[in-house]
Amino acid sequence: MKLLVVGSGGREHAIAKKLLESRDVEQVFIAPGNDGMTLDGLDLVNIGISEHSKLIEFAKENDIAWSFIGPDDALAAGIVDDFNQAGLKAFGPSRLAAELEWSKDFAKEIMVKYGVPTAAYGTFSDFEEAKAYIEKQGAPIVVKADGLALGKGVVVAETVEQAVEAAHDMLLDNKFGDSGARVVIEEFLDGEEFSLFAFVNGDKFYILPTAQDHKRAYDGDKGPNTGGMGAYAPVPHLPQSVVDQSVETIIKPVLKGMIAEGRSYLGVLYAGLILTADGPKVIEFNSRFGDPETQIILPRLTSDFAQNITDILDKKEPAITWLNEGVTLGVVVASEGYPLDYEKGLPLPEKTDGDIITYYAGAKFAENSRALLSNGGRVYMLVTTADTVSAAQEKIYDQLKKQDTTGLFYRRDIGGKAL
């Protein structure tokens, strides 16, 4: 069978590479992808993620069995609805189900209605009301743009002044455009952060290994929030009881709630959680796989990925198995200056093979050769599996030391919280 992955980053590279390893898969296309992925035998399709009718035409002409949708903005734009209407299968939620991610206010309403533990909050479109709420609640407090903002629309304010300024930026200065026309202001949750993913179809769900991302740009969780600078799975210091509790108090009720609302969920559900003194609480839901979490979770899948997704789409019981031992860890290499301004076109080191995987996020062939150049904020990621977090770190950081990363940077403490 032939499959299509929609998206262009490291997440889509990992999804497509794993699909291509599946027994019955002869070809995996990625639209639009990036040149680095072709080194793994993946085929690029020069169609953007928002060109639904062209994607549909491509899928029909090429006999695509089903498509896997990577990015949140494609889901929010209703790509799955459009594919389904054209008679095509796609793994991802409908626009209405994806609202769990594209509106923080909607997600909060669902959580309150169906008793899912989350931070106390208020939603505001009026600045004076937002300011009054912040002053009443005090700091620390968290201010979030309601809509999609590439993970950058969240300010964890340590003082009332910072929070008021963030609300001012979003509501009066339009810093995030329409996404910030409403803000959700919520209680600061104290505790360890982790991500829990599930493959879902309706009330059936299959939990993936726990993962921990590193969202800040620099070592020691300093600097601006990014899309994610590195991750590892599973999180060795999170007991199974925490996962079980999260399933009972969070995953089950939210999926039941979505069905009750007529928005039955299909695809990957991503719960961003904080383990507080009162148990796990939700800081956000995403309607898709995480990036970079996908790159460290999927290498641990030991079953046939394409068959698993086919079964979930067909509402059959999938035989999903995971590596039980060791830990998989990955470090993102980004352009200096990311997440703000950065240069493109820097030469990249050779792709690694064997037990260190290179996933490409922003890479492009030079004009007249097949030399790879940087072409984005996050450029590539090295991923490996080892017995322990420190052994995995050693392998990755040894490899990175051998590479010429001039003009690029990476965090040197990925996995540090597990040590």
Binding site for ligand GLY (CB under 6 A): 151, 213, 228, 286, 290-291, 293
DSSP letter, residue 173: S
Q: Which of 186, 291, 304, 311 is in the footprint of ligand AMP by CB under 6 A?
A: 186
What is the footprint of ligand AMP within residues 354-383 (CB under 6 A)?
Answer: none
Strand positions, DSSP E, 8-133:
27-32, 43-44, 64-69, 90-91, 121-124
CB of 414 to ligand GLY, least distance (A): 13
CA–CA gap between residue 182 and residue 187 (Å, rounded)? 17
Which one of 39-47, 64-72, 183-191, 376-384 is the stretch in contact with ligand AMP (CB under 6 A)? 183-191
Binding mask 282-311 for ligand AMP (x = CB under 6 A): -xx---------------------------
Other Cβ atoms within 10 Å of 94 Cβ, number: 20
CB of 396 to ligand AMP, least distance (A): 22
CB of 66 to ligand GLY, least distance (A): 22
Residue 272 within binding range of ligand AMP, rule CB under 6 A: yes
Residue 348 is which amino acid?
A: L
DSSP letter, residue 261: T
Of residues 154 and 348, the one with the C-beta less far from ligand GLY: 154
**Which residue stretches of 46-98 are H helix?**
52-61, 72-76, 79-85
Which one of 185-193, 201-209, 236-244, 325-333 is the stretch in contact with ligand AMP (CB under 6 A)? 185-193
Q: How many CA atoms lie within 13 A of 268 on its CB side?
A: 25
Q: Which of 52, 215, 364, 378 is in the footprint of ligand AMP by CB under 6 A?
A: 215
Compute CA 3 distance to the chain's CA centroid, rounded to the nearest angstrom. Answer: 21
Rg of the chain, C-alpha, whole Å: 21
Q: Which of 5, 154, 200, 258 is in the footprint of ligand AMP by CB under 6 A?
A: 154
User: Token match 């108090």: residue?
Assistant: 249
* CA angle, residues 343, 227, 42, in degrees to nearest 5: 75
Q: What is the DSSP string of 326-384?
A: SEEEEEEEEETTTTS------B-PPPP-TTEEEEESSEEE-TTSS-EEE-SSEEEEEEE
119 binds, among ligand GLY, ligand AMP, none (CB under 5 to 8 A by kind): ligand AMP
CB of 293 to ligand GLY, least distance (A): 6
Choose among 180, 188, 184: nearest CA to 122.
Answer: 184
Q: What are phi and psi of 117, to 5 degrees?
A: -65, 125
Which one of 76-84, 186-194, 301-309, 380-388 is the stretch in contact with ligand AMP (CB under 6 A)? 186-194
Binding mask 83-122 for ligand AMP (x = CB under 6 A): ------------------------------------x---
CB of 322 to ligand AMP, least distance (A): 24
CB of 286 to ligand AMP, least distance (A): 8
201 binds, among ligand GLY, ligand AMP, none (CB under 5 to 8 A by kind): none
Choose among 418, 109, 117, 103: nearest CA to 273.
Answer: 117
209 binds, among ligand GLY, ligand AMP, none (CB under 5 to 8 A by kind): none
Q: Which residues bind ligand AMP (CB under 6 A)?
A: 119, 142, 151, 154, 156, 186-189, 193, 215, 225, 272, 283-284
